[in-house]
Structure 1
């Protein structure tokens, strides 16, 4: 079903389910190319409740009266002339009622708006009476969405097919090309199609295999007039010549604002139309504004108009607008589209107006105006500067691909080194958020060289950007090279300014990489404090980054929250996902997994919306880590896969290591220590496969626990000694307690107890309920196996409460199982836990509790032993028990309390 994605299929089946039971009527509409016909064909093929009468409209409105109705009656097996007048609707209703007596019929009429008026009237009358009388018959009609619904059908319920979501459109491209499309090309196709499936397929169809694979340049514009007209089809035929000017003027007016509509008075005056003249069917008037019913038709009208008519429309619009404020920018834009070739004076005026901070323009329109000013600029340096300024606005608007295209345009003409440096600085920032991070690093380094001496602050920003890219890639050597000191430190009035903050951040970051946290603390603390003293989002993001390096999660949360608020206030969509990333990491480091999940979910949405795949990968990694303690196996797997997909394509070592740690922690929580140890071993032990230098040590406590529980404590000592160095640095408040826990796991039987108690004492000094609960659990396990049940119950009870408090369901089940194994029934155990089992699982649990073997259970329930094995494994996992003995005890406790199985 071309263009019909899973949500649309679900919509069809919801409709059909209703038709099978109560009948129903729906009018399906949408713009040209939205998939109305495919939607109806899929519904007709999928209906199994009764006969399907599927008819298509004829060629137009010149058909004889009642010809449409006769076609439908023939499809229903009725021949002869159709009765006229009011009896036509009665005749159709009688046919539907008679058919419904045997099985509910489904009537599918495609393009009902093209039927003759008498047939539409009969169809509408019968449809209304089907709804009112409860006849078990279904009617699905499609009508064009670029015009008003005909009066005969206007009272029927409407289902509008909206555009495909970006993810759905991307999957359609992959399906159509068998995956042989470059990701960047796919993104351009999805953007150009604006969710229209027919247009998307037409765009794919016009590209060669080399263009689809990204090996040859794409045609510009990607969606030209011919393609758009092909998708629009005959939707614009029959427009009177005197109305065509109004259509073009409306399309031209919307081009300047970027909105779907424009002020009605402006459009009418520019087109020379009176206020009382009726609008063409393709336009709609709402609250004083005129717009197209279908965005596709607006694009097709503009792209298909002769250039001289387009320029005339823009001249007329410019002449009707004032010269000041936002309208003044729009007037200059219209003037710019009314000229051909370079226009230096007009370009300068347009660039100045678009750059004026006093003008209340969002980033999108500023980008449009600055890009047009660059096109009209002859001077190479000024042209590059304006393209770069336009790209910066595209980044702020969250349109990274458009920013890269504008930066490519800035490269197309020779320009002085500072201009080229500014463009490369911005390119590095775009690629760091949405591209290969090695490419981002090279762009930053090139920018730093081009800007040195001309703009030392920008050069410092570029060097720090190169270090950020190398950090994301897990390349400490490149990171240190980017952070190498250059020039003398700022002095005099600038000593506390932005350059000093940059230098402090560079010095602190360099010291961290060299393991000298004593030297890092001072500079990084100054970065934190100076960032928190301002409201500039970029400096607040630096503050949050520095706080995370220091292990000061409180300051990191504060700086991240303020950066988020500042980015929203400034309208910087591009900075929101980064601020949410720092917030999520800060909450994660603090052990607040639920808050981390909340921030990461919002961050993932904004990263997707603004086209920042790398940032999205980090949010996926955080979500995987948060879900790994909650027992959501599929959720963890999905986020791990998504993070690794981008991480491997773009070289994101940090995100990859976090995702792999999440998968291992989920294994450990689910009682699969061997699998967890196998995942984590290469990440934390020395060697070429060791994970990201700033992340692997955080996973060491998980690895040590997994290795010991898997019976391989010999794998852990080297990693523990490396972790001891990390804990001594003071950059991770949790590390000292975790180190003592690791040593307790590896210690002899008599030495472990004091180490666990010391670890718990250290936990008292920091926040982090989850890590404390893990230590309580391990301590309780050790005590129970040392036959000290009373003390064990105390620690296991604390562990259970701690896990339940932070939503760590799998770990809570482990603690509950240990309590039961020690003869204690944890609060909430028994009937509450057993109630989560399915009826079949309950029956199997009861049989096993009575002492039956799996074979005996299978014979008793008339199922295979394999089925019993499968259900029993799920019972054990759901109840947190590890043996039949524990299951017998749990069921027995339930029966003693009178709970019903």
Structure 2
């Protein structure tokens, strides 16, 4: 186990605004007083903020207390403990006020009609106590103690403006009439920092993301997770915990609150915890069946254990739900399950009813197991894995139970739960497994290994699965071969792809359904591409693209659409590839297939790169990285980090690029795709800094053309940079070989953008100042599509530089000005600076343009800006554009920066 740090952490991560509010409140003393109320769930940092206030109250006298549930039935008990240090100054109050105060604080109570007078007496006492020094009063968990204390302190807190008194209260819900600071969950960055604060070594980024997701942004949950993290888990060698420990500080806090509740409240709370659907109507009926009502939940709501609204009953944190269930005796849990099953009598509740009956079952029940399986297959989604595992437990036939566990593992993997899928698969070794189920299990193991483990192991496992499935399920056997092909490409062993194509040809049949034909065509086309036979590759890959666009449900899967998108990229039909990848993303979202999202988003990012939409590509990769890390797909995450590094390097964003490269580290194998992307990114930085030999050496080492070893496809993508670097060197054999391969590929496609890049490369390798170089540059500019802003601007910059160095400054200025303007509109500041320097060297000064707002934004930014200008919230924009809210926030900040505005109102004005 990693030993968590014992150093006191005084920096409150993610609570900057709250800390500033405390400092402002204390800084205003003694000129004016005020109050702050911090509300949030247990573990959200409320007590830490009280401690922060105490540490910054060096100029103040301090009165501090906390609400105690054990004194909740004693009126004014909390107030007595708070005011006890200054009660000796009650003699300075008017006689009636002093007597009323002493009576209330010594158990004599306060008549309802005298509560106003009591509140004024407390206010007067605090004013007396603050005569010598400003006063800070804090009451932690004010809502857990007695209600009269909370009401009195709220009364006082609303009347402090003219007194040198500051009041800081914490509660699950702020008292009426006081503005509360809601303590939201920590974001990913602050969660990672909290973990780093408490561990000897920060966890690797994927582990930090997984722990942040498990903690749901709760600071105490993060601290509890850090306390149980092992060194292997911290390094990412073993899966990290998927939930905070129930016996940690957060779990104990919830258990303490639970123990204080009445028995009838705990009973209804147990029903709510066992009903994961959270339907209020179900809870009402189940409570009534047990002789209770949902009104009994009121104390649990006050205690912060549950949240109830008109549409859902929910728990503030999974630990709270787990504590409620664990605290109930087995007999009570079974009775609660049966009550819930009894009220779930409609067809829409088939799955829930079966689950509750299964939870109450005492032993094997084949009929119930069969019902669970039918309900799981009908419902699908993330819960299907839990249901099928329970069905397996209730199955008395070991072989049948194993088949159900394989199905449960498949559903778990699809839903993004890698650990659960692996656990279910590893459990199969304990008993007999039918041959078809064993073959499907091998296919699943291979796919998990492809995304999360070692690609050589993935290849062996997937090829074994393909052999096992060949006689009984050809579509799945072809899918296994396609996955094995992905593993070969990621691992840099493309030379073995020919064997996959041979196996695929043996499985293909005339008249195969479109989805099966698509997979066969894809495999044949990729194999021919890697073998250099582009004339044979083109028709097969184009057929895969066409079939991908014609697929209908249920064959329209994310996997099939992704293979079609990959085929589109290989024949340079970028628009079609982008549409297919976008459809793959949409289908994966709609079906809850989280495991398929990172690959679909990778292909979408690749298509956006070729379309010149670099910011959109970065957005796609950031989303892919987030999902890959959340689902434990380390290999997919590394590919996305590599893509982000390349995109940052292409835009000359050195800091971001190097940060991404640090995330990749030394983990990926030497010839793997993430390592190749990292080398490409470093080479672009070398090229930007004028280290041409270093850049050429890096890019030439990505692959060995003709052998199929290394990252051939990555090197083809990077060839324009290799040629640009080699143009400055006396010997260029590697660049010439790579360009020959790029030329063959470009000429086999109908893509003007590829042929434009080819022409630019030849211009760079032509003798400086020659007619050939000028002719090739002009051909490249003609071939670049009108919307290829970045690459066309790069060509214009290189052509302008060539003309200037050939002592033709007048001709150079036209192209340099075009490049500068395009880079400025694209927000590529570093490249715009290069164009500016070349223009000045060519004898022209530069002034900033004033383009229309729409011209300053990328297509995606413009669409977001239009939706926001129409009044859509960030969440609504995210839903309509299939983005995360965080991505929309990022875009909106960039939009405001580019347009020089500060508000949504100004944005609407700018667009009109």
The one-character-per-residue Cα deviations of 1:119-157 (angstroms, maximum 9, x if unpaired) are 333321110112xx36564322123x3xx66xxx33322
Scaled by the length of structure 2, what TM-score is found? 0.79
Counterpart Cα distance in 2 of 1:501 and 1:796? 46
Aligned to 2:587: 566
Gap change, CA 1:720 and 1:506, over 3 Å in 2: same
Q: CA deviation at 1:719?
A: 1.9
1:39 shift after superposition: 3.1
Deviation at residue 619 of structure 1 after TM alignment: 3.4
> Is 1:265 paired with 2:284?
yes
Q: 1:272 to 1:702 in 2, by over 3 A?
A: same
Deviations 1:16-49 (A, max 9, x none): 3355347542322333333322232134324567
Contact 2:69–2:146 (8 Å) recurs in 1: no
The 5 Å alignment of 1:481-500 reads 481-485=499-503, 488=506, 490-494=508-512, 496-500=513-517
Task: Name the SS of the counterpart of 2:71 in structure 1.
Answer: coil
Distance in 2 between the 1:744 and 1:388 partners?
57
Q: Is residue 125 from structure 1 mapped to residue 155 from structure 2 by the alignment?
A: yes
Give the match for residue 307 of structure 1: 330
Contact 1:504 1:524 in 2 (8 A): yes
The reply to whether residue 723 of structure 1 matches residue 739 of structure 2 is yes
Q: Residues 411, 186 of structure 1: CA spacing in aligned structure 2 closer, same or farther, 3 A cutoff?
A: farther
Helix, strand or coil at the partner of 2:181: strand
Q: Distance in 1 between matches of 2:70 and 2:296?
A: 25
Q: SS at the partner of 2:712?
A: coil
1:824 to 836, 839, 844: 844
- The alpha-carbon deviation at position 532 of structure 1 amounts to 0.9
- Matching residue of 1:506: 523
CA-CA distance at 1:524 after TM superposition:
1.0
Q: CA deviation at 1:624?
A: 3.4
- TM-score (normalizing by structure 1): 0.80
| 1:745-778 alpha-carbon deviations (Å, 9 max, x no partner) | 4443442x43233233134224333223222222
Larger deviation: 572-581 or 2-11?
Answer: 2-11
CA contact (8 A) 1:707 1:716 kept: yes
Matched, 1:813 2:843: no
State the alpha-carbon separation in 1 of the partners of residues 266 and 200 from structure 2: 41
Q: For 2:796, what is the secondary structure of its paired residue? A: helix
Offset, 1:547: 0.8
Q: Which residue number in structure 1 is paired with residue 200 of structure 2?
A: 178
Decide whether the 8 Å contact of 1:2 with 1:38 is kept in 2: no
1:17 equivalenced with 2:24 (yes/no): yes
CA distance in 2, matches of 1:189, 1:461: 33
Quick one: which of 310, 333, 346 aligns to 1:287?
A: 310
The equivalent position to 1:656 in structure 2, one of 675, 689, 697, is 675
CA RMSD of aligned residues (A): 3.8
In structure 2, distance between residues paired with 1:314 and 1:638: 50
String of CA shifts for 1:835-883, please: whole Å, max 9, x gaps: xxxxxxxxxxxxxxxxxxxxxxxxxxxxxxxxxxxxxxxxxxxxxxxxx
Instruction: Report deviation, 1:507.
Output: 1.3
Encode CA deviations 1:613-668: one digit per residue, 9 max, x unaligned: 443433333333333344433333333333x24x8357882233224323443454
Question: Aligned ranges for residues 18-167 of structure 1 at < 5 Å?
Answer: 19-21=26-28, 24-46=34-56, 52-57=62-67, 60-61=70-71, 66=76, 68-73=78-83, 79=89, 83-84=101-102, 86-94=116-124, 105-130=135-160, 133=161, 135=163, 137-143=165-171, 145=172, 153-165=175-187
* Partner Cα distance (1:170, 1:686) in 2: 33
Q: How has the CA–CA distance of structure 1 residues 602 and 136 changed in structure 2, closer, same or farther, with 3 Å as cutoff?
A: farther
SS at match of 1:754: helix
Aligned partners of 1:174, 1:446: CA distance in 2, in Å?
42
SS of alignment partner, residue 235 of structure 1: helix
How far off is 1:791 after superposition? 0.9
Instruction: Give 3-state SS (helix, strand or coil) of 1:591's partner.
Output: coil
Shift of 1:701: 2.8
Counterparts of 1:210-289 in structure 2 under 5 Å?
223=245, 230-254=252-276, 257=277, 259=278, 263-274=282-293, 279-282=298-301, 283-287=306-310, 289=312
Q: 1:784 to 1:765 in 2, by over 3 A?
A: closer
Equivalent in the alignment of 2:357: 335
**Larger RCO: 1 or 2 (CA < 8 Å, sep 6+):** 2
User: Counterparts in 2 of 1:697-736, with a 5 A limit?
Assistant: 697-706=716-725, 708=727, 713-714=729-730, 716-730=732-746, 733=751, 734-736=753-755
Q: Deviations over 1:469-511 (max 9, x none)?
A: 12112222344444443563533442x5433322221111111
> Are the counterparts in 2 of residues 4 and 38 from structure 1 also a CA contact under 8 Å?
no
Aligned-partner Cα distance in 2 for 1:186–1:598: 21
**Structure 2 counterparts to residues 385-400 of structure 1, below 5 A:** 385-400=403-418
Q: Quick one: which of 781, 796, 818 aligns to 2:801? A: 781
1:757 aligns with 2:763: no
1:815, 1:210 → 2: CA distance?
Answer: 49
Query: Tell me, what secondary structure is at the counterpart of 1:673?
Result: coil
2:861 aligned partner:
none
Deviation at 1:515, TM superposition (A): 1.5
The answer to whether the Cα contact below 8 Å between 1:4 and 1:35 also exists between their aligned partners in 2 is: no
Distance 1:577 1:606 in 2: 6
Q: Which residue of the partner structure matches residue 542 of structure 2?
A: 525
Higher mean C-alpha displacement, 458-467 vs 781-790: 781-790
8 Å CA contact 1:664–1:679 kept in 2: the answer is yes
Paired with 1:609 and 1:232, the residues of 2 have a C-alpha distance of 26
Q: Could you tell me which runs of 5 or more consecutive residues in structure 1 were left unpaired when the two chains were aligned.
A: 831-901
Deviates most, 521-530 or 776-785: 776-785
* Separation in structure 2 between the aligned mates of residue 655 and residue 217 of structure 1, nearest angstrom: 21
Q: Distance in 2 between the 1:98 and 1:540 partners?
A: 75
Instruction: Assess, with a 3 A threshold, how the Cα gap between structure 1 residues 252 and 58 changes in structure 2: closer, same or farther.
Output: closer
Equivalent residue for 1:880? Answer: none
- Which residue number in structure 2 is paired with residue 635 of structure 1? 656
For residue 278 of structure 1, report the CA deviation from its aligned partner.
6.6
Aligned residues of 1:543 and 1:556 also touching (Cα < 8 A): yes
Secondary structure of the residue aligned to 2:432 is: coil
Aligned equivalents of 1:270, 1:578: Cα separation in 2: 48
Cα gap change, 1:829 to 1:48, in 2 (>3 Å)? farther
Q: Indicate which of 396, 407, 415 corresponds to 1:378.
A: 396
Partner of 1:867: none
Offset at 1:577? Answer: 3.6
Alpha-carbon offset, residue 681 of structure 1? 1.9
* Distance in 2 (alpha carbons) for counterparts of 1:656 and 1:8: 37
CA distance in structure 2 between the partners assigned to 1:63 and 1:379 by the alignment: 57
Q: Comparing 818-827 with 697-706, which one deviates more in the overlay?
A: 697-706
Mapped partners of 1:175, 1:650: distance in 2:
31
- Mapped partners of 1:294, 1:625: distance in 2: 38
Q: Is the 8 A contact 1:505 1:524 kept in 2?
A: yes
Q: Which residue of 2 aligns with 1:887?
A: none
In structure 2, relative to structure 1, the CA distance for the partners of 1:365 and 1:51 (3 Å cut) is same
Tell me: CA distance 1:200–1:557, structure 2 relative to 1, closer, same or farther (3 Å): closer
Contact kept? 2:759, 2:776, Cα under 8 Å? yes
SS at match of 2:740: helix
1:728-756 Cα offsets, whole Å, 9 max, x none, are 232674454444444444443442x4323
Secondary structure (helix, strand or coil) at the match of 1:234 reads helix
- Residues 380 and 413 in structure 1, CA contact (< 8 A), matched pair in contact too: yes
Judge which range, 157-166 or 378-387, deviates more: 157-166
**Residues in 1 aligned to 2:717 and 2:26: alpha-carbon distance in whole angstroms:** 56
Q: Is the deviation greater in 195-204 or in 241-250?
A: 195-204
How many aligned positions are there?
804
Q: Which string of whole-angstrom CA distances, capped at 9 and with x for unpartnered residues, describes residues 680-703 of structure 1?
A: 522324789996221123323324
The alpha carbon displacement at 1:334 in A equals 0.5
Query: 2:493–2:710: 8 Å Cα contact kept in structure 1?
Result: no
2:621 maps to which residue?
A: 600
Q: How has the CA–CA distance of structure 1 residues 554 and 68 changed in structure 2, closer, same or farther, with 3 Å as cutoff?
A: closer
Whole-angstrom CA distance in 2 between matches of 1:76 and 1:702 = 76
